[in-house]
Amino acid sequence: MSNFMSTNATNIDTTDESNEFAISAKKLTRNFGELTAVSALDLNVEKQTIYGFLGPNGSGKTTAIRLLTGLLKPTSGGVDVLGCHLPQEANKLRMKIGYMTQKFSLYDDLTVKENLQFISRIYGLSANEQKSRLSELLSIHQLTSQSQQLAGSMSGGQKQRLALAAAVIHKPKLLFLDEPTSAVDPQNRREFWEQLFDLCDQGTTILVSTHYMDEAERCHKLAILENGIKRADDTPGNLMNNMAAQVIEIGATNLRQIKESLIKLPQVISAAQLGTHLRVLVNKEESNPIALLQQQPCLNVTDKLSIVRPSLEDVFVSCTGQEGPQ
C-alpha cells in the first residue's frame, strides 16, 4: 500500500551509510538538580529495527527519549543519532526524526486534515507533495472518512492514528514513540503495531517506550530501565532464556499465606498471584527449586509445583527492584 514510502526510504538511506547504528549513546547522563533521571546509559540501536524501552513510571524513559532527540542536553556523555552528534547538531537532526509524544499534542480545535496540513507545512513540504502525502497518510491510517472531523472529538484510537500519521509525515528515518498506546484498547493496539512493522519494513528505525509487557515483547530488542539505569538489554527471547531466575508455578488453595511465607526465603526473588496459581521466582543458583519450595511448612504435599517457561514480566521483575523498596 505504500510503494512510495519504501522507494523513498532507500533513497535517504544512502546519506549516512557510515554508521551501522541509528543510535549509539555512550555514558549518557542527565541530572535534574539532585535527581539523576538517566544514568550512564550505553545504547546501540541497529537500523531498521524496533527497539523498546521497558520500565515503570519515572524510570527515565521519557528523559532518555528527549536526550536522544536533542530536546534535552545531556549533563555528561554523548550520543550519535543518524550520524548527527548531539547536542551540537540537534537542529540538523530535527528533519530526520519523528516524535510522537506521550500525550496527544496536536490541536483539538483543528480538523484531522488541518492538523496534518499544519505539520506538513512545518516540515516545509511543497503544495504538491503535501496533497499526495496527505491522501496517502489518510488512507494508510484509516482516517479518510474522519478528515473533516475535529481532532478533539475523536476516540483514543483515532487520535493515536492521527498522531502517528503526523509523526511520519516527513518520512523520518528514525521514529520515537513515547508510550504510544497508553490510551488505546487492545484491538487498536494490535493494528497500531501492524503499522509500526510496516514502517520498519520500509526502512524506518523505531524506538518505543512502554510499560506494557505484551508491547515490549513485540520489539526486536529491548532495554529494561529502572531509576534511570539500564538493567538489561537484549532481544525479548534472549532476555527470557538468560534470566537469572527460575519460574515455579504453585497450584494451591491458601495462596496468600503461602506467598507471605515464601517471600521471606533468601532464594526467592518474588512471588505473585495469577488467579489460582502463585508464580514464584527462585534464584538460578538454586539447583533444585521445586524441592526447596516443597520443604516449606506452608505447602501441603498435595500442592502442585512445576517449572514453567519465563515470561517477559518475570524478566522485568527479576531485573528490577534490586535497589530500594519496590
Partner 1 sequence: MKTSLIRMQAIVIKELLQLKRDKMTFGMVVMIPFVQLLLFAFAINTNIRDIPVGVIDHSQTSLSRILQQTVDATGIVNFTHRYYSVKEGQAAIDSGEVRAVFIIPKDVSQRLVRHPTVGFGLPPSSKEETSRPIAQWLVDGSDSVIAGSIKSLRNMPLAELLDKPANRNTATFEVTLLYNPEQRSVVNIVPGLVAVILTMTMIMFTSAAIVREQERGNMEMLITTPLASLELMIGKIFPYIFIGAIQVSIILGLGYWLFNVPFNGGLIQLALATFLFICASLVLGLVISTIAKSQLQSMQMTVFILLPSILLSGFMFPYEGMPLPAQYISEALPATHFIRLIRGVVLRDVAVIEMSFDMIWLIGFTCFGLLVAAFRFKKTLD
Q: Does 72 bind partner 1 (CB under 8 A)?
A: yes
Q: Which of 39, 59, 69, 204 binds partner 1 (CB under 8 A)?
A: 69
Task: For residue 72, give the nearest of 37, 102, 34, 30 by alpha carbon.
Answer: 30
* Strand-pair partners of 178: 209
Q: Does residue 55 contact residue 232 with C-beta atoms inside 8 Å? A: no
Q: Is the dihedral of CA 226, 231, 235, 237 positive or negative?
A: negative
Least distance in angstroms from the C-beta of 127 to partner 1: 9
Q: What is the DSSP letter of 111?
A: B
Least distance in angstroms from the C-beta of 25 to partner 1: 18
Q: Which of 24, 75, 101, 195 binds partner 1 (CB under 8 A)?
A: 101
Task: For residue 113, give the nearest of 153, 160, 145, 140 by alpha carbon.
Answer: 145
Q: Does 103 bind partner 1 (CB under 8 A)?
A: yes
- Our CB check for partner 1 shows the closer of 158 and 318 to be 158
- Our CB check for partner 1 shows the closer of 150 and 305 to be 150
Least distance in angstroms from the C-beta of 105 to partner 1: 4
Q: Does 75 bind partner 1 (CB under 8 A)?
A: no
Q: Does 237 bind partner 1 (CB under 8 A)?
A: no
- Tell which positions 127-156 bind partner 1, by CB under 8 A: 150
DSSP string, 200-244: HHTT-EEEEEES-HHHHHTSSEEEEEETTEEEEEE-HHHHHHT-S
Distance CA 52, CA 23 (A): 13
Binding mask 24-63 for partner 1 (x = CB under 8 A): ----------------------------------------
H or E segment at 54? strand 50-54
Q: Does 118 bind partner 1 (CB under 8 A)?
A: yes
Total Cβ atoms within 10 A of residue 194: 10
Task: For residue 312, give the nearest of 226, 247, 230, 227 by alpha carbon.
Answer: 247
- Tell which positions 163-182 bind partner 1, by CB under 8 A: 166
- Pairing type for strands 21-32 and 35-46 reads antiparallel
Least distance in angstroms from the C-beta of 99 to partner 1: 4
Distance CA 250, CA 261 (A): 14
- Alpha-carbon 182 to chain mean position: 11
Q: Which of 52, 61, 84, 99 binds partner 1 (CB under 8 A)?
A: 99
Q: Which of 21, 48, 94, 296 binds partner 1 (CB under 8 A)?
A: 94
- Our CB check for partner 1 shows the closer of 118 and 212 to be 118
Q: Which of 12, 71, 290, 298 binds partner 1 (CB under 8 A)?
A: 71
**Only segment of 35-43, 95-103, 208-216, 295-303 that touches partner 1 (CB under 8 A):** 95-103
**Interface residues toward partner 1, by CB under 8 A:** 69, 71-73, 91, 94-95, 97-99, 101, 103-110, 114, 117-119, 121-124, 150, 166
